[in-house]
Copies of this chain bind each other. A is one copy, B any other.
Amino acid sequence: MRIGQLAQLAGVETQTIRFYEQQGLLPPPDRQDNGYRVYTEKHGEGLAFIRRCRILGLSLAEIHELQSYQDDPHQPCTAVNALLDDHISHVRSQITALQALEKQLVSLRASCNDDREVEACGVLAGISEGNMHQQ
Cross-interface CB contact of A76 among B74, B78, B116, cutoff 8 Å: B116
Task: Report yes or no: A105 in contact with B52, Cβ–Cβ below 8 A.
Answer: no
Does A118 sit within 8 A of B, measured CB to CB?
Answer: yes
Does A124 sit within 8 A of B, measured CB to CB?
Answer: yes
Give A81 to B109 CA distance when docked, in angstroms. Answer: 7
Chain A: residues with Cβ within 8 Å of the partner, total of 53
Task: Report yes or no: A98 in contact with B101, Cβ–Cβ below 8 A.
Answer: no
Task: Report yes or no: A112 in contact with B57, Cβ–Cβ below 8 A.
Answer: no
Does A64 sit within 8 A of B, measured CB to CB?
Answer: no
Q: What 1/0 mask marks residues of chain A from 46 to 78 whose CB sits below 8 Å from any chain B CB?
A: 001100110111000000001001101111111
Secondary structure at the A interface, as helix, strand, loop or mixed, is helix
Give A91 to B127 CA distance when docked, in angstroms. Answer: 17
Give A130 to B50 CA distance when docked, in angstroms. Answer: 11
Give A87 to B102 CA distance when docked, in angstroms. Answer: 9
Nearest CB on B from A107, distance (A): 11
Give A70 to B87 CA distance when docked, in angstroms. Answer: 41
A interface, CB within 8 angstroms of B: 45, 48-49, 52-53, 55-57, 66, 69-70, 72-78, 80-81, 84-85, 87-88, 91-92, 94-95, 98-99, 101-102, 104-106, 108-109, 112, 114-121, 123-124, 127-128, 130, 132, 134
